[in-house]
Amino acid sequence: MSTKEINIKDYQLHEGDTGSAPYQVALLTQRIHHLTEHLIANKKDFSSRRGLLTMVSRRRKLLDFIKNGSEEKYQQVIQGLGLRH
């Protein structure tokens, strides 16, 4: 797992943007990385594991939404976040 920091400001469409799909995907990815590290240390934290699966599902739906709109934007987001090696 990569430990690089995600600069979520790179995914904003304009200043103060918090609702666009690429921004939300970047934010969810950051939270997923953080929660994954937590679960490595706390293997029996099943409620956090359920939250992690919910976040992964939400990110997948947002990525599908981006892909349906623009394949080029989808590829930019995937490569920028380091998903789908």
**pLDDT tens digits, one per residue of 47-81:** 999 999 999 999 999 999 999 999 999 999 999 99
Number of neighbouring beta carbons within 10 Å of residue 63: 21
pLDDT of 6: 87
Delimit the domains of the chain by residue range. 8-81
User: Which CATH superfamily hosts domain 8-81?
Assistant: S15/NS1, RNA-binding (1.10.287.10)
Residue 38 is encoded by which pair of tokens?
């937590």
pTM for this model (two decimals): 0.90
For residues 64 and 58, what is the distance between their CA atoms, to the nearest angstrom? 10
pLDDT band of 1, cuts 50, 70, 90? very low
Confidence of residue 84 (pLDDT cuts 50, 70, 90): confident
How many whole angstroms separate alpha carbon 31 and alpha carbon 83? 14
